[in-house]
């Protein structure tokens, strides 16, 4: 029995030895090569220091035609915390620095066409390096969180310090035209931003940095986004949900949905490990929304609709605004001086506004005078009338009508999506009571809008909020539908004529 046990022990020991030897033989060889312990790619590296994984730049999409994203060969971008000092961009391959990039540093600021999104204020400047191999190190001026981008096609490095985080969108108090600021704290550990007691609507929103949607490095900012026209990289985040943020206009992105009209705490954060995260937490019920009339009308002898009861003439209706700006109405029409007119809800219901009823008139608009208790103006012509009932006030603006075309590649008016393009400004004929486009320069779809700072903001950044198109002989207004108007094709040389009094149009 002892002999048998001894034999079994010997066999078992041999099996163990064989098994251990087999495992060692089959294990993969671990590369113990010395070098920089980061993956291949581009990194920001302080002079005389190795790059770290937290300073990596990775491939990212850029702005595409219209509102979209597109791939760009040789473009990389990253967010990272940097300490003040001199840096190069380095390319790491097989744990070694393969290439060092540097060059002349300049500031893009003020009224530069690449810095006008936020009005060109000095505090919105960013840094640009004309990159060359073995170029000089460039200075990062202060400790902070930075967005850094490198484009191999244009050989340029862009970096911008993130200072502010804002919420924006139809769910926020300022809509798409005004940022809701978050109190932002940035340390080497990360970024935290919070806004408490914010009333959000059941709608959508995004986050953006430093008042920017993107940093625009197109070769020609008057032309649409295309890879042969440089690039524009995003500095905003949206997504399908708050627990999965997506940069800019990527195809898997979108606007963040707010589920309920309520009071919220908004949180936004960044760490090198987790990247960007966000949440909204309901903290209370919102005050009941103010009630506004569904429809308002222009009436009076000074209009094409006379003194018939408001609602009698469908063409007299004022249009709503495509930005969830409830309580804001607008209309273009011909007003005859010396005759008088009013703005009223249907059937003379409240509000029924004569001269003395508004709290204020637009100081930069035409002067409105009293005509037998009604409103009046001094000079006949085509005007845009805007009524603002928000914030417990009644305000009226009357300004000469201004209409523009707008669009990108494939559009009848290719402005590179720039608003207020003089080449696409329509001509107003106060005798014929028409507003007519310049000859269309290229085949494409039509997009036109009425320009008024109370509706589209001072720079017409919200041009789409008063958009309309000619559709089968009538004017199709976008209103507050949430959707684009119909796609209407035009051919080179055609002209659009709008007749706003009866809301008709020709395209010929």
Residue 25 pLDDT > 70, yes or no? no
Across the range 150-154, mean pLDDT stands at 98
409 pLDDT tier (thresholds 50, 70, 90): confident
418 pLDDT tier (thresholds 50, 70, 90): confident
**pLDDT tens-place string over residues 422-466:** 999 999 999 999 999 999 999 999 999 999 999 998 888 889 999
264 pLDDT tier (thresholds 50, 70, 90): very high
Q: What is the largest CA-CA distance in the chain?
A: 127
Mean pLDDT check: name the lowest of 79-83, 116-120, 223-227, 245-249.
116-120
Across the range 127-146, mean pLDDT stands at 98
Which contacts of 473-477 are long-range, i.e. CB under 8 A and separated by 24 or more positions? 473/504, 473/505, 473/506, 474/503, 474/504, 474/505, 475/500, 475/503, 475/504, 475/505, 477/319
Give the span between the Cα atoms of 78 and 118, in whole angstroms. 22
> What is the residue-averaged pLDDT of the chain?
91
Asked if the 296-400 domain carries CATH number 2.60.40.3620, the reply is yes
Cβ neighbours of residue 341 closer than 8 Å, sequence gap 6 or more: 298, 299, 300, 301, 302, 303, 335, 374, 375, 376
> What's the pLDDT score for residue 123?
59
Distance of CA 436 to the CA centre of its chain: 29
Q: Concatenated DSSP letters for 50-104?
A: ---GGGEEEE--EEETTTEEE--TTEEEEEEEE-SEEEEEEEEETTEEEEEEEEE
Chain position carrying tokens 């997009």 = 447
Burial (CB count within 10 angstroms: exposed 0-12, middle 13-18, buried 19+), residue 1: exposed
**Residue 15 structure tokens:** 């099996």
Across the range 223-232, mean pLDDT stands at 93
Q: Which CATH architecture has domain 403-507?
A: Sandwich (2.60)
Distance of CA 270 to the CA centre of its chain: 21
Give the span between the Cα atoms of 419 and 291, in whole angstroms. 32
**pLDDT tens-place string over residues 283-292:** 999 999 999 9
**pLDDT tens-place string over residues 176-211:** 888 999 999 999 999 999 999 999 999 999 999 999
> What's the pLDDT score for residue 33?
60
Which option is the CATH number for 41-161: 1.10.10, 2.60.40, 3.90.105, 3.30.450?
A: 2.60.40
Across the range 71-97, mean pLDDT stands at 98
Across the range 104-128, mean pLDDT stands at 79
Across the range 76-85, mean pLDDT stands at 98
**Domain 296-400 identical in fold to domain 403-507:** yes
CA 76, 80, 84, 90 dihedral sign is: negative
Question: What pTM did the predictor assign?
Answer: 0.79
Across the range 299-314, mean pLDDT stands at 98
**Residue 123 structure tokens:** 């505090």
> What's the pLDDT score for residue 121?
53
> What's the pLDDT score for residue 221?
84
Q: Concatenated DSSP letters for 267-313?
A: EEEEETTTEEEEEEEEEEPPPPPPP--S-EEEEBTTSTTBTSPTTS-
Across the range 157-183, mean pLDDT stands at 94
DSSP assigned state of 462: T
Residue 22 pLDDT > 70, yes or no? no
Percent of the chain at pLDDT exceeding 90: 81
Give the span between the Cα atoms of 194 and 186, in whole angstroms. 12
Can you give the residue ranges of every domain in the chain? 41-161, 165-215+233-284, 296-400, 403-507
> What's the pLDDT score for residue 65?
87
> What's the pLDDT score for residue 458?
86
CA 344, 346, 350, 351 dihedral sign is: negative
> What's the pLDDT score for residue 322?
85
> What's the pLDDT score for residue 18?
32
24 pLDDT tier (thresholds 50, 70, 90): very low
> What's the pLDDT score for residue 119?
55
Q: H-helix or E-strand containing 204? A: strand 204-209
**pLDDT tens-place string over residues 461-494:** 889 999 999 999 999 999 987 678 999 999 999 9
CB atoms near residue 268 (< 10 Å): 24
Across the range 14-24, mean pLDDT stands at 34
Mean pLDDT check: name the lowest of 313-322, 342-351, 409-418.
409-418
């Amino acid at each position: 029995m002892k002999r048998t046990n001894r034999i079994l022990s010997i066999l078992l020991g041999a099996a163990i030895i064989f098994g251990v030897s087999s495992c060692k033989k089959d294990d993969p060889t671990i590369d113990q090569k010395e070098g920089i312990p980061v993956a291949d790619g581009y990194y920001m590296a302080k002079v005389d220091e190795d790059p770290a994984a937290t300073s990596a730049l990775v491939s990212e999409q850029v702005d595409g035609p219209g509102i979209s994203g597109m791939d760009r060969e040789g473009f990389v971008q990253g967010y990272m915390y940097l300490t003040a000092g001199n840096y190069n961009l380095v390319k790491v391959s097989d744990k070694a620095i393969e290439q060092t990039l540097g060059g002349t540093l300049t500031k893009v600021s003020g009224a530069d066409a690449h810095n006008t999104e936020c009005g060109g204020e000095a505090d919105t400047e960013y840094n640009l390096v004309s990159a060359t191999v073995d170029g000089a190190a460039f200075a990062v001026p202060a400790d902070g969180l930075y967005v850094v981008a490198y484009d191999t096609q244009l050989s340029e490095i862009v970096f911008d310090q993130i200072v502010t985080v804002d919420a924006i969108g139809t769910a926020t108090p300022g809509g798409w035209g005004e940022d809701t600021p978050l109190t932002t704290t940035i340390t080497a550990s990360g970024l935290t931003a919070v806004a408490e007691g914010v009333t959000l609507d059941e709608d959508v929103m995004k986050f953006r940095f430093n008042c920017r949607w993107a940093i625009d490095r197109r070769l020609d900012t008057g032309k649409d986004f295309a890879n042969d026209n440089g690039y524009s990289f995003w500095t905003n985040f949206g997504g399908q949900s708050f627990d999965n943020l997506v940069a800019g206009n990527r195809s898997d992105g979108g606007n963040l949905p707010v589920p309920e009209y309520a009071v919220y705490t908004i949180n936004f954060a960044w760490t090198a490990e987790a990247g960007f995260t966000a949440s909204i937490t309901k903290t209370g019920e919102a005050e009941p929304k103010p009630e506004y009339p569904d429809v308002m009308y222009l009436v009076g002898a000074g209009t094409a609709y006379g003194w018939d009861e408001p609602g009698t003439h469908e063409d007299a209706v004022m249009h709503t605004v495509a930005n969830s700006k409830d309580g804001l109405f607008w209309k273009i029409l011909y007003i005859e001086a010396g005759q008088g007119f009013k703005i009223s809800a249907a059937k003379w219901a409240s509000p029924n506004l004569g001269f003395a009823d508004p709290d204020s008139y637009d100081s930069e608009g035409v002067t409105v005078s009293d005509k037998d208790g009604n409103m009046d103006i001094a000079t006949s012509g085509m005007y845009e009338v805007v009524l603002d009932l928000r914030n417990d006030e009644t305000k009226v603006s009357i300004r000469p009508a201004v209409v523009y075309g707008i669009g990108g590649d494939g559009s009848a008016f290719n402005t590179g999506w720039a608003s207020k393009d003089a080449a696409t400004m329509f001509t107003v004929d106060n005798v014929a009571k028409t507003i007519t486009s310049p000859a269309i320069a290229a085949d494409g779809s039509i997009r036109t809008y009425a320009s008024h700072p109370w509706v589209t903001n001072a720079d017409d950044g919200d041009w789409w909020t008063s958009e309309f198109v000619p559709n089968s002989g009538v004017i199709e207004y976008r209103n507050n539908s949430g959707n684009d108007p119909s796609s209407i094709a035009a051919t080179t040389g055609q002209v659009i004529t709008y007749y706003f009094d009866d809301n008709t149009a020709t395209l010929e």
